[in-house]
Chains A and B, each alone.
Chain A
Amino acid sequence: MLARIDSAALAGLEGSAVTVEADVVAAAPAFSIVGLPDAAVQESRERVRAAIVNSGFEFPSRRITVNLAPADLRKEGPSFDLPIALAFLLATKQVEAGGSAHGSLAAVGELGLDGVLRSVPGVLAIAESLRRRGLRGVLLPSANAAEASLVRGLEVYAVDNLRQAVRQMACGGEGALAPADVGALLAAVNSGGPDFTDVRGQEHVKRALEIAVAGAHNVLMSGPPGSGKTMLARRLPTIMPELTVDEAISVTRVHSVAGLLLPDAPLVTRRPFRSPHHTISSPGLIGGGSSPRPGEVSLAHLGVLFLDEFPEFRLAALEGLRQPLEEGEVTISRRLTSVTYPARLMLVAAMNPCPCGYRGDRERECVCPAHRLRQYASRLSGPLMDRIDLHLDVPRLNPQVRHAARTPESSATIRARVAQARARQLARAGATGALANAHLDAPSLRRVCRLDAECTALLDRAYDRLRLSARACDRVVKVAQTIADLDGAPSISPAHLAESLSYRQRGTAHGE
């Protein structure tokens, strides 16, 4: 007797159609699973048998063959437990699929030995693929149900154990979850949590960060330990424009595949802030591993990737940042397939000014010898530095300055300004193809950011006196454009340019 249940496998960020077939015949008892299953899928046999028996069903002594079609797609993980169990029960006539007038129900989920259903990663992507295939609905673990309800047009039935799943199957599904209102979820983001108003003083750094976020520019902060670099970086997502519905889904999808969603928080509502330790490996940062998983750059998609102790990161890992910074996505190739994850992020790097951390500090002296200073400075060269548009000094503040500072602005206030600046950039996007100034390429830059005579003269003098490179000049103009956008000005003025110059990269004076 042959039975079929629809399901799906995760391939990158998408669900791939899988049909679970079960064939049960009277013959020497055996239980085999075919269709390129990995070790976890092979172990399904144990789990499924125990779950079926412990749920009060029978496991007749027959030859059972389960096929996970198509046969040339690798199947991984325990999420096929539920469809296999259901297919078996259908094939042994212990349940009959009912109410199939509008199409069939798919199933996804891991089974415990007692028949209880466990959550699986990547449910959002899977649910989206099921809907695209035209399936009516899906049975899945309660812990994943809220996530699946983000997908419109798919009936979602949350089940806690195998018995419930069987009941749902028999009646064709009842008590579907209401589809989630993504917009409402986003709007309901509660206030509280870190805010720019927590940071007293450091007005210059805050101003620079506002510019960075407004134009999606990458930033490098340099300062001694305890100057507040991490504190400021952590609050950056709070001044970034709020996620749109599409953006939230996009971020949620990545986090879902990485298995990071919680049952009661199925939607990622805030921009991500990822802060990997500098010992992270290349696959950890960029993504990969033997069965590709998203890396930190993808988990930081549409958010902030904070690299503290920047010079300590492995060069190989930093090399991999090139594609995300340039293209906004990362492609991981394996022998048979390649997977592309999104990775449009804002890079925020932080470092000490020298190995001991105190070069230039008011109170403590730097004790680094000359050759170590050279070594340290040399780690900051190369293509990655070319992508950093703003270089900031973050000094340690003495307490008086902190207390004397005016009440700091709240993130909401800053965010409003940023949103306006972004809107202006979006309006130009048609002409440039770039959603933010940081992504303007050289020809677009020349076209869009026209400098009047005064500005050109200033830039020339700066090029000469401050020894800028041509690339540095381009960066200065980009940032100046963002400053002008924040100002609401129709074009760049010398004041904008001059301010932009203050964020340039400064060479070290030691050696040429």
Chain B
Amino acid sequence: MNARQNLGRRAEQAAVEHFERAGWRVLGRNVRIGRGEIDIIMRRGSTLVFAEVKARATTVCGSPEDAVDARKRRQVARLAELWLTVHPRALEHIEDVRFDVVAVDASCVPLRIRHLPAAFTRDL
């Protein structure tokens, strides 16, 4: 396991802990579906979130949220649709469905987590 994967793992772990502390119920991590995987699926109240976690060791190459380009957006949206098709009951009592980005800045200790709710939709 190389440094990058290590970083990613640690970032995800940190994010999950952060959300659980904030009252989110994490329904899944690294959920494989179709040909890809969704980093985090969680819910709180009537909101369902599919989150993409991006970690960076430095801030030199741009911020993590910029790494979610159009292609990535469409991919995440596609995977989410697919997952919802397989788990239709997940939408019970849900009013909002979101795609969020979780930016983990690993250049400092402790890791800094920034949560960007509704960072994108399939089209915009």
- Is A27 interfacial (CB-CB < 8 Å)? yes
B31 to chain A, nearest CB (A): 14
- Is A229 interfacial (CB-CB < 8 Å)? no
- Greatest chain B CB density within 10 A among A27, A28, A30, A46 is at A28
A30 to chain B, nearest CB (A): 4
**A49–B124 CB distance below 8 A:** yes
Which of chain B's residues have a CB closer than 8 A to the CB of A61?
Answer: 47, 96-99, 118, 121
Q: In the complex, how many residue pairs between chain A and chain B have their CB atoms under 8 Å apart? A: 51
A26 to chain B, nearest CB (A): 5
Which of chain B's residues have a CB closer than 8 A to the CB of A27?
Answer: 81, 84, 91, 97
Report the separation of the CA atoms of residues A259 and B123 in the bound assembly, to the nearest whole angstrom. 31
Among A26, A29, A49, A60, which residue has its beta carbon within 8 angstroms of that of B122? A29
**A63–B123 CB distance below 8 A:** no
Report the separation of the CA atoms of residues A420 and B122 in the bound assembly, to the nearest whole angstrom. 68
**A26–B123 CB distance below 8 A:** no
- Is B94 interfacial (CB-CB < 8 Å)? yes
Q: Mark A1-35, 1 if CB is under 8 A from B, else 0.
A: 00000000000000000000000001111111000
Report the separation of the CA atoms of residues A61 and B121 in the bound assembly, to the nearest whole angstrom. 8
B101 to chain A, nearest CB (A): 13
- Nearest to A63 among chain B residues (CB) is B97
Report the separation of the CA atoms of residues A28 and B22 in the bound assembly, to the nearest whole angstrom. 23
Report the separation of the CA atoms of residues A500 and B80 in the bound assembly, to the nearest whole angstrom. 83
Give the interface residue-count category, chain A: 10 to 19
**B96–A45 CB distance below 8 A:** no
- Is B95 interfacial (CB-CB < 8 Å)? yes
Which of chain B's residues have a CB closer than 8 A to the CB of A29?
Answer: 77, 97-99, 118, 121-122
- Is A396 interfacial (CB-CB < 8 Å)? no
Among A30, A46, A60, which residue has its beta carbon within 8 angstroms of that of B77? A30
Which of chain A's residues have a CB closer than 8 A to the CB of B95?
Answer: 26, 60, 62
**A28–B124 CB distance below 8 A:** no
- Nearest to A42 among chain B residues (CB) is B123
Report the separation of the CA atoms of residues A129 and B75 in the bound assembly, to the nearest whole angstrom. 44
Which of chain A's residues have a CB closer than 8 A to the CB of B47?
Answer: 61
Give the interface residue-count category, chain B: 10 to 19
Q: Mark B52-65, 1 if CB is under 8 A from A, else 0.
A: 00000000000000
Report the separation of the CA atoms of residues A63 and B97 in the bound assembly, to the nearest whole angstrom. 8
- Greatest chain B CB density within 10 A among A26, A29, A46 is at A29
> Which chain A residues numbered 36 to 83 have a C-beta less than 8 Å away from chain B?
45-46, 49, 60-63
Report the separation of the CA atoms of residues A26 and B46 in the bound assembly, to the nearest whole angstrom. 10
Report the separation of the CA atoms of residues A138 and B77 in the bound assembly, to the nearest whole angstrom. 37
Which of chain B's residues have a CB closer than 8 A to the CB of A28?
Answer: 50, 77, 80-81, 84, 97, 99, 122
Q: Mark B97-113, 1 if CB is under 8 A from A, else 0.
A: 11100000000000000
**A45–B123 CB distance below 8 A:** yes
Report the separation of the CA atoms of residues A299 and B77 in the bound assembly, to the nearest whole angstrom. 49
Report the separation of the CA atoms of residues A31 and B99 in the bound assembly, to the nearest whole angstrom. 13
Report the separation of the CA atoms of residues A32 and B69 in the bound assembly, to the nearest whole angstrom. 19
Which of chain B's residues have a CB closer than 8 A to the CB of A63?
Answer: 97
**A60–B123 CB distance below 8 A:** no
18 contacts between A and B (CB under 8 A): A26-B48, A26-B91, A26-B94, A26-B96, A28-B50, A28-B122, A29-B98, A29-B118, A29-B121, A29-B122, A60-B95, A60-B96, A61-B97, A61-B98, A61-B99, A61-B118, A62-B95, A62-B96
B interface, CB within 8 angstroms of A: 47-48, 50, 77, 80-81, 84, 91, 94-99, 118, 121-124
Closest 7 CB pairs of A and B: A29-B121, A30-B122, A61-B98, A28-B80, A31-B123, A61-B96, A61-B118
Given contacts A26-B97, A29-B98, A32-B123, 11 further A-B contacts (CB under 8 A): A26-B94, A26-B96, A27-B91, A28-B81, A31-B121, A31-B124, A61-B47, A61-B96, A61-B98, A61-B118, A63-B97
